Amino acid sequence: MTDKAIVAQGLVKTYPKGVRALDGVGFEVAAGSVFGLVGPNGAGKSTTVKILTTLSRPDEGQATVAGIDVLKRPDRVRGAIGCVAQKSGVDVQATGRENMMLQGRLYGMAGRSLEERVDTLLARFGLTAAARRVTRTYSGGMQRKLDVAMGLVHRPEVLFLDEPTTGLDPEARADMWTEIERLSSEEGLTILLTTHYLEEADRLAGQLAIVDEGKVVAQGSPDELKSELRGDAVHVELGETETDGRVAAALAQITEVHDVVVDEGRLLHARADNGARAVPVVLQALEAHGVSVASVTVARPSLDDVYLMHTGRRFEQADKAAEVTR
């Protein structure tokens, strides 16, 4: 495998009725790293993974995975990757061990080597005691662990995890984070992680690409992206819905406050070189313009602030909008 485990260039995909899921998506993933593909629901993350895992073909563009062209040699790509889809691939009528054994046989594994590999993975994911139970009795977290273990049976060079922690409780999510970190740091496995949990990407990904409406709007390490935002984030919950532009008018003359955005008329987001110093000035200006305030917080830059800077809307707002249009 080359030093670039994944290279995607100019990927375009249009679905029926003119829905443009991807509009020139491109990025590179270094071998042995965790790369985050981040965006709200409907941003194009899963479509990108389908192309990279040979389950779909782009209308335009090209890509290689483990140094193999996904369009010219899809068979070789499939042998080099593991893939954990959004929806569980576990056969709930079979035991955990039976699921693992079947997965290995699909990749041509057999005999003692397969049995030892299955035993190792079951132990690693804490599933040995439950290995002979039918998996419909597993918790959601246990099923998800089994999904990941199945994706590792044949020792892939690249592992795709598509929204691996969606629906998990906090404890199960933390366990999954720990295992993903271990797979990368101890085994040097290349992992492409798609997620709409910003804190997940911030913790796990060495590099990430933020995708919005089928386009990559920002790339870099989480720290690099956050460092582009100078100062602090100031968040103000207004006491009542603002519809007449009073907030913008109130803050227009405050030079230390910039990048002002009002979400749904109730949430004011802005940036300030010194948040603590700016808060009293902001509150005074809002009061002078008859705008009531319910609460105010100051925070260091986050990936949500990065998303806001590049798209003009907050991540949660985009995620809700996508759910409505589904």
Q: Convert the pLDDT of each residue in 260-301 to its tens digit.
A: 888 777 888 888 988 999 999 999 999 999 999 999 999 888
Of the listed ranges 9-13, 57-61, 98-102, 234-238, the one predicted with least confidence = 234-238
178, 240: one domain: no
Chain mean pLDDT for the chain: 91
Q: What is the tens place of the pLDDT at every residue in 159-217?
A: 999 999 988 888 889 989 999 999 988 888 999 999 988 999 999 999 999 999 999 99
309 inside domain? no
Query: Which secondary structure element, helix H or strand E, spans residue 195, and what is its range?
Result: strand 190-195
Of the listed ranges 65-69, 117-121, 133-137, 230-234, the one predicted with least confidence = 230-234
322 inside domain? no
Of the listed ranges 92-96, 226-230, 322-326, the one predicted with least confidence = 322-326
316 inside domain? no
Structural domain containing residue 196: 4-225
137, 49: one domain: yes
Domain boundary among 191, 225, 259: 225
Domain boundary among 201, 225, 249: 225
Query: At 167, which CATH number?
Result: 3.40.50.300
169, 248: one domain: no
130, 277: one domain: no
State the total domains in the chain: 2
Domain boundary among 209, 225, 241: 225
The stretch 130-155 carries a mean pLDDT of 95
59, 203: one domain: yes
* Number of alpha carbons in the 13 Å side-chain half-sphere of residue 278: 24
125, 102: one domain: yes
325 inside domain? no
313 inside domain? no
Query: Which secondary structure element, helix H or strand E, spans residue 267, and what is its range?
Result: strand 267-272
Q: What is the pLDDT of residue 161?
A: 96
User: How sure is the predictor about 325, in pLDDT bands with cuts at 50, 70 and 90?
Assistant: low
310 inside domain? no
326 inside domain? no
pTM here is: 0.84
